[in-house]
């Protein structure tokens, strides 16, 4: 994803173009389904993922919601931001044919893109404008996805309703309500009665107690619907192992917003692999899990996959949890590069983040990777962390240089600003802001100057400012995000509107005390 994509989107306003006729035919031809889904349906519904096809199709949440909708008889068709934004993957249908548009939003910074995509497709992105529009046939717009566990209010300026938390069960209830065919106002009132559906036009008034749904993942789906070479993971079956995380890194949303930590048993997981193998060809199993090493039956799973000729890949390798067997599985799976996240170059600062391993352990793990055949490593760091000094920043390049010298691997250091998020243990920590982050970035960049075999990549500082502002957006800021899709308002206005205490007050009013385990959670 281009680094400045969100920034450009927020600043330049609506420059999204409706494409000339183009077809998804070649993409469809490459898709294999791991499960037979009912054809047709009685309720035309567009589901949008705010990224390009290769990224969206690698998101298991999209697979789950699509499957739920198809199994409940909804005629759902997929839309992605690129390469053909306003025609559906299934049948090249134009967006304008859909009276219901749902979005699966994983990242805060994708909310402005969602608004802009709507605007570019001729759909009014500002919810209140649709409510007062005289035509009365504006589509109904809803959203779900990972951001709804953290700050659903950030979508309230755009969406008529927002599905909170784990979406499969709630989506079944949502479809039942929509199928009643009620007039718009009555339908929104019926949706607002659901404990895990947030309806801004109703819930923004008065005090309400909503629940971020957390389901038993052993009863939910566990595998992806499609396999296609055109995703970022290639020819891979997506397979969920765990949700939430048992560890407690202060900056991370997983141990708090996605709590409690839940796991799918080995037999269930094996059954998914067997059923998918019977339905479609694939060479690799991509484990969808926060920390693969925390899955108790990981060794047996790797063995099982190998016994049926499948490779296994992990999204992340936690330095203090990785074993030689896991590393071997990664390398045997065809990856010549390993990815780890030390977060800080200084051990004490790292320990404060919740990651308690030494620099020696980092180097030992990379040495293991090198001995097993890896050629390069990517190391993720953050800057702007609580308690960080300028000396701490210099430790990042030192650790990378040591790793290069002792392992022979080519090293890429990816450094991104720390963004405090609602619901995390570090939700009240300071966000450093553009000026200080630029200063710190300059220190890091200078320290990497002249290091051969080590490359520095830094995430956009403006992008982090937008992410911070969107993750804490209350109702007014969310409306500004929607308006900016057409007006091209400056992102600085949004950043200046950020008021964490006001947003916390709005959470409180909705009973969304983000980060705590809600009643009803398993």
Distance CA 397, CA 486 (A): 42
- Residue 392: helix, strand or coil by DSSP? helix
Helical segments of 107-183, H only: 110-120, 127-132, 147-150, 167-179
- Residue 326: helix, strand or coil by DSSP? helix
Rounded to a whole number of angstroms, the minimum distance from the CB of residue 508 to ligand SF4 is 25
Looking only at Cα atoms, what is the longest distance across the chain?
69
* Site pattern 55..94 for ligand SF4 (x: CB under 6 A): ----------------------------------------
Binding region for ligand SF4 (CB under 6 A) out of 4-12, 114-122, 132-140, 249-257: 249-257
Residue 145 in contact with ligand SF4, rule: CB under 6 A? no
Element at 155 (helix H, strand E): none
Binding region for ligand SF4 (CB under 6 A) out of 30-38, 248-256, 363-371, 477-485: 248-256
Q: What is the dihedral of CA 502, 434, 52, 36, to 10 degrees?
A: -40
Residue 361 in contact with ligand SF4, rule: CB under 6 A? no
Rounded to a whole number of angstroms, the minimum distance from the CB of residue 381 to ligand SF4 is 13
* Binding positions for ligand SF4, 196-215, rule CB under 6 A: none
Using the Cα atoms of residue 15, residue 21, residue 24 and residue 26 in order, give the sign of their dihedral. negative
Binding region for ligand SF4 (CB under 6 A) out of 1-9, 123-131, 213-221, 244-252: 244-252
Binding region for ligand SF4 (CB under 6 A) out of 247-255, 303-311, 436-444, 494-502: 247-255
Cα–chain center distance at 297: 26
Rounded to a whole number of angstroms, the minimum distance from the CB of residue 421 to ligand SF4 is 11
> 78: which strand partners?
47
Distance CA 262, CA 244 (A): 6
Q: Cβ-count burial of 481 within 10 angstroms (0-12 exposed, 13-18 middle, 19+ buried)?
A: buried
Termini Cα distance of the chain: 36
Q: How many CA atoms lie within 13 A of 506 on its CB side?
A: 24
Rounded to a whole number of angstroms, the minimum distance from the CB of residue 320 to ligand SF4 is 9
Q: Cβ-count burial of 185 within 10 angstroms (0-12 exposed, 13-18 middle, 19+ buried)?
A: exposed
Residue 244 in contact with ligand SF4, rule: CB under 6 A? no
Instruction: Figure out which of the listed residues 100, 111, 254, 319 binds ligand SF4, where binding follows CB under 6 A.
Output: 254
- Taking the least distance from each CB to ligand SF4, the nearer of 85 and 255 is 255
Size of the site for ligand SF4 (CB under 6 A): 10
Rounded to a whole number of angstroms, the minimum distance from the CB of residue 245 to ligand SF4 is 3
Q: Between helices 184-192 and 167-179, what is the axis angle to 10°?
A: 150
Instruction: Figure out which of the listed residues 129, 208, 230, 247 binds ligand SF4, where binding follows CB under 6 A.
Output: 247
* Binding positions for ligand SF4, 255-294, rule CB under 6 A: 255, 290-291
Using the Cα atoms of residue 192, residue 244, residue 227 and residue 71 in order, give the sign of their dihedral. negative
Rounded to a whole number of angstroms, the minimum distance from the CB of residue 261 to ligand SF4 is 9
- Taking the least distance from each CB to ligand SF4, the nearer of 245 and 280 is 245
Rounded to a whole number of angstroms, the minimum distance from the CB of residue 490 to ligand SF4 is 33
Distance CA 283, CA 41 (A): 32
> 381: which strand partners?
343, 415
Instruction: Figure out which of the listed residues 67, 214, 318, 518 binds ligand SF4, where binding follows CB under 6 A.
Output: 318
Rounded to a whole number of angstroms, the minimum distance from the CB of residue 97 to ligand SF4 is 40
Residue 320 in contact with ligand SF4, rule: CB under 6 A? no
Distance CA 133, CA 160 (A): 14
- Taking the least distance from each CB to ligand SF4, the nearer of 74 and 365 is 365
Sheet containing 376-383: order of strands: 337-343, 376-383, 410-417, 454-458
Residue 420 in contact with ligand SF4, rule: CB under 6 A? no
Residue 398 in contact with ligand SF4, rule: CB under 6 A? no
Instruction: Figure out which of the listed residues 252, 317, 415, 514 binds ligand SF4, where binding follows CB under 6 A.
Output: 252
Binding residues for ligand SF4, rule: CB under 6 A, are 245, 247, 249, 252, 254-255, 290-291, 318, 354
């Amino acid at each position: 994803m281009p680094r400045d994509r969100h920034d450009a989107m927020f600043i330049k306003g609506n420059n999204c173009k409706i494409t000339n006729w183009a077809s998804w035919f070649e993409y469809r031809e490459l898709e294999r389904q791991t499960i037979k889904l009912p054809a047709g349906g009685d309720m035309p519904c567009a589901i949008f993922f705010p990224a390009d096809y290769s990224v969206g199709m690698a998101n298991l949440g999209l697979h789950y919601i699509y499957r739920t909708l198809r199994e409940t008889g909804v005629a759902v068709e997929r839309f992605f931001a690129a390469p053909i934004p306003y025609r559906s993957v299934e049948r090249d249908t134009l967006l304008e044919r859909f009276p219901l548009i749902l979005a699966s939003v994983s990242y805060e910074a994708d909310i402005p893109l969602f608004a802009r995509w709507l605007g570019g497709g001729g759909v009014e992105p500002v919810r209140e404008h649709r409510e007062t529009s005289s035509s009365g046939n504006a589509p109904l717009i809803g959203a779900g996805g990972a951001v709804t566990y953290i700050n659903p209010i950030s979508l309230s300026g755009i969406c008529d309703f927002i599905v909170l938390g784990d979406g499969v069960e709630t989506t079944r209830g949502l479809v039942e309500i929509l199928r009643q065919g009620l007039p718009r106002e009555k339908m929104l009132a019926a949706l607002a009665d659901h404990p895990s559906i947030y309806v801004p036009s109703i819930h923004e008034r008065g005090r309400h107690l909503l629940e971020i749904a957390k389901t038993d993942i052993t009863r939910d789906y566990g595998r992806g619907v499609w396999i296609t070479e055109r995703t970022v993971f290639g020819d891979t079956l997506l397979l969920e192992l765990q949700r939430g995380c048992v560890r407690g890194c202060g900056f991370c949303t997983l141990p708090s917003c996605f709590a409690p930590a839940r796991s799918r048993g080995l037999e269930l997981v094996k059954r998914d692999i067997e059923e998918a193998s019977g339905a479609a060809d694939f060479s690799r199993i991509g484990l969808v899990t926060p920390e693969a090493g925390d899955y108790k039956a990981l060794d047996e799973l790797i063995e099982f996959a190998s016994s049926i000729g499948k490779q296994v890949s992990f999204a992340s390798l936690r330095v203090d949890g990785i074993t030689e067997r896991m590393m071997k599985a990664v390398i045997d799976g065809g990856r010549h590069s390993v990815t780890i996240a030390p977060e800080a170059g200084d051990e004490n600062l790292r320990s404060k983040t919740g990651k308690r391993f030494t620099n020696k352990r980092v180097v030992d793990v990379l040495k293991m990777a090198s001995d097993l055949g890896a050629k390069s490593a990517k190391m993720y760091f953050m800057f702007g962390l609580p308690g960080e000094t300028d000396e701490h920043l210099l430790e990042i390049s030192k650790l990378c240089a040591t790793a290069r010298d002792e392992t022979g691997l080519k090293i890429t250091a990816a450094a991104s600003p720390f963004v405090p998020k609602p619901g995390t243990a570090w939700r009240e920590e300071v966000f450093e802001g553009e000026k200080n982050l630029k200063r710190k970035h300059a220190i890091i960049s200078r320290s990497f100057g002249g290091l051969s075999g080590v490359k520095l990549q830094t995430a956009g500082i403006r992008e982090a400012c937008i992410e911070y502002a969107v993750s804490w957006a209350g109702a007014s800021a969310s409306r500004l995000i929607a308006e900016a899709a057409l007006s091209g308002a400056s992102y600085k206005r949004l950043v200046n509107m950020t008021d964490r205490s006001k947003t916390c007050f709005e959470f409180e009013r909705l009973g969304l005390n983000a980060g705590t385990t809600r009643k009803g959670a398993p």
